[in-house]
Amino acid sequence: MQLLDDFCLSFDNLCSLLFQQIGHPLSKPELRALLDEIKDTAGVTLQEIDGRFRFMTNAILSVQDERSRINATDSDKFKVMKELVHDILSPAPSVSIYGSKTISATVELCRGRQNPVLIPGGDIKLNVRFVDASDFEKVHNALLTESTKVENKQTMFWVCTLPQDIELLLIDVVRDETICNNHRHDTNKEIQDYLRAQQADADKNRQEITRILRQSQNNSETICKGSPTSVNGETYKTQALKNFAEQVYNKYPLASRSMSASIVSDLLAYEDSTKLPESLNPFGIVGDNGVIETGHAAFAEIKDYIASSNDANGGQLSDHFSRAQYGWSKDTIRYLVALMLKAGIIVVRSGAQSFKMFTKNAAEAMKNNTSFSHLGLSLNTDAHLKPAEMMMAMTTLKELYNPQGLSPIPASIAKISLKIATQRRTKVEQLKDTFEKLKMAGTSTVSQAVNYLVKIIDSEGAEAPYLFAKDKACADALRFVNQVFKAEEQGKVLTSIKKIQKRLNDTQRLPQLPTLEILKNQLGEDEQAFNDIMLDPICFNHTSEYADLASHIDNEIEQACMHFYTEATLFINQKNSEIRGSEDFCSLKEEQKQSIEVLMSRIAIQEGKTLELLQEMCNQFTAFYAPLGLFDSIERKVKDFVAANKPAVTTPAEDDDSKRPNESSDATDAESVTGANEPTVVRRQIKRRLTQRQDVESLINELTRLLPQMDEGVSIDLSFID
């Protein structure tokens, strides 16, 4: 301790001073442990800084105490473990299988319940666990069962047995790095020296943990699908991972070659399959005679996938076969699909187009992986039609459209079907828009008819024989459309439906007036009846019902117009009579009454018999009674006339019993009845607004008349009136 206090010695210097004789037994680990014990003693400030031991001042005691109180959580320790294992296993372990494919594993580190992805890789997972020797048997038995589960069929578990406990080392690393991080901005030099020493300890402990982890790999085993294998830091990858990868990718050999990006275009260039070079036939699928082996194992896998998937597309297909258990390249997958299309095994859809043969347009649609991902794929189930089926197609087409020159051969049916579909497509699409706008129950059937016509046009008629022979829904949809057109032509069924909907919608905008309640109740019943009929998609069966209902609604509206006109006219006349009988109107001058009569004569509504005119009558009637409407305007006009007729100055009327003895209305009342000393008040009312010359003169004359009374102590009380 005295040596350490006197000199800043390195560990080697200290060893030399303590053991000066040559050959003296020296245990450096024991000395190192002793120094670590001294350093960790509470209140002792000994630290190893830059490789030399020295005692620090008491400035670091509080920091030391803070370090000792740091709680190293499982999460903190696991974070250190992840960093160290990541460094050990990076980059992701990879192996070569079947001589042509490299597989990278996704690394997971498991500690307790935590199981995060440490290094991303491929489909295969390498689940790494570092366990104490005492826990190995328990973990081993658990993983023998766990590895057989379906969700772990692509996971290889790697259990490494630790030769010694690393918990204390992890705790020291967490504490050292945490205290350094907490005080990284501290300006005290002593504390900075102390932190540097702690960081050095953390680095040393990290190296020690790494050494222990690497050593544990040499005493480890892998477990996959219930089978354990003893491995070390090298054989876990070169043997165990390689064997496991070949088991996972067991169908890779079916198409084990990666084709070029231009493979589809290259294949299209050879119309004669007998001349295909070996580079375009690496799997021997095309025979020397140019015949494609439709039963090839790779084809069988793709067919099974398409058959088991609903609306499979190129993107899904590529994703499925590029992953385990196949691992085929995406260009190779496109090559296989192109051969299957060439053999007539599948149908490829690009947008609205369908391809049953490997044509130029088909090759263009799958020229690269991006365009291929958007293609629809299905099995070609209609490659050949029997004679009876061809006759069925011709019979159906004749029933629907009765074309001339039709014969039961594919070319004839395709040609005539294409002509009919081209002619009727626009008309049927317009019918579809009408059905959608009217929200009719048969909309889906009309949409089907449009889709079938488009399908025939896009395939240039090639789809028609199959559709008319085997797809009953096609004939039903087109037959439905024909019947709708016939019903519209003969009975105006769609016209009636449009008319009814317009009437019902327009009546919703009528105001809430008691006079219209009967009409609205009637229309409510009509709407319910209309909705009931609309539930039946076979609209052409109700042609007469729609026509009768439309006529019935028009009659109800006409009756409502007549009723409303009568009632509204009665209300208007009553209101006019009310105004004429008012006291204000009676007080008007004759010419003023005449002007009011002119205004009232303008209040009238125009009689009509349609819903539009009924709406207009309602708007007019409502406007008459609205605030600031005509009636409101007339009543204000009457009040204005009454106000204008009043004199500019008036004497307020008072009952004799209410007169107070100190007030008088003219000069003769100036003397108070209760005594000469009581003040006398003269009251006058003056218009607030003077608009005529005579009003001003009247005011001046009245004030002039009252002027002499001011000398007698009389006061004047003026009040304004409207």
Closest CA relative to residue 560, chosen from 517, 529, 524, 527: 517
Round to whole Å and give the CA distance between 647 and 721.
11
Round to whole Å and give the CA distance between 187 and 209.
32
Q: What six digits make up the tokens of 595?
A: 């002007």
The pLDDT value recorded for residue 672 is 39
Going by their DSSP bridges, the two strands 52-55 and 94-97 should be labelled as unpaired
- Cβ–Cβ under 8 Å, residues 241 and 93: yes
The pLDDT value recorded for residue 11 is 64
The pLDDT value recorded for residue 10 is 64
* Burial call 285-324: b when 16+ CB within 10 Å, e when fewer: bbeeeeebeeebebbebbbebbeeeeebbbeebbebbbeb
Report phi then psi at 124, rounded to 5. -75, 140
DSSP labels, 169-238: HHHHHHHHHHHHHHTTT---HHHHHHHHHHHHHHHHHHHHHHHHHHHHHTTEEEEETTEEEEE-TTHIII
- Cβ–Cβ under 8 Å, residues 219 and 160: yes
Residue 164, preceding bond cis, omega within 30 degrees?
A: no
Q: What is the mean pLDDT of each run of 10 residues along the chain (722 residues)?
A: 53 63 62 71 65 63 83 93 94 91 93 87 93 93 94 95 94 94 86 86 94 94 94 93 94 93 91 84 88 89 91 92 93 94 83 78 90 92 71 90 78 79 92 88 90 85 83 92 88 85 79 78 81 82 83 83 84 87 85 86 80 80 76 84 71 50 43 51 76 77 76 76 68
* Burial call 387-406: b when 16+ CB within 10 Å, e when fewer: eebbebbbebbeebbebeeb
Q: What letter would DSSP give residue 41?
A: S
Round to whole Å and give the CA distance between 48 and 54.
6
DSSP labels, 247-259: HHTTTGGGG-SPP
Q: What six digits make up the tokens of 158?
A: 């790697």
Round to whole Å and give the CA distance between 330 and 370.
10
The pLDDT value recorded for residue 163 is 94
Q: Following CA atoms 323, 327, 330, 332 in sequence, which dihedral angle do they give, to the nearest 10 degrees?
A: -150
Instruction: Name the residue with tokens 């002793």.
Output: 34
